[in-house]
Amino acid sequence: MQGGLHGKTTSQIEEKEQQITARAEAVQGLRTRGIRSIMKAYVCVFVKNLKKIQSYN
C-alpha cells in the first residue's frame, strides 16, 4: 500500500512542477511582450520628436 501512495504523491509533485513551469513560461512571455510594447512606444515618440526637431531647421 505504501508503494501506491508514494507513486501517487510523486505523480502529483510532477504534475505541480509542470504547472509551475507552464505558468513561469507564460509570465516570461507576457513580460517579453510588455517590454517590446514599451520599446515600440519609445521609438515612436523618439521618431516623432526627431521629426519635430528636423522641421525647425
Where are the domains positioned within the chain? 1-57
The model's confidence at residue 1, banded by pLDDT at 50, 70 and 90, is: very low
pLDDT band (50, 70, 90) for residue 30:
very high
Q: Is residue 51 very low, low, confident or very high in pLDDT (cuts 50, 70, 90)?
A: very high
Separation CA 17–CA 25 (nearest Å): 12
Q: For 7-12, what is the mean pLDDT?
A: 89
Cα separation, 53 vs 55, whole angstroms? 5
Average pLDDT over the chain reads: 92
What are the strands, taking DSSP E only, across the chain?
Answer: none
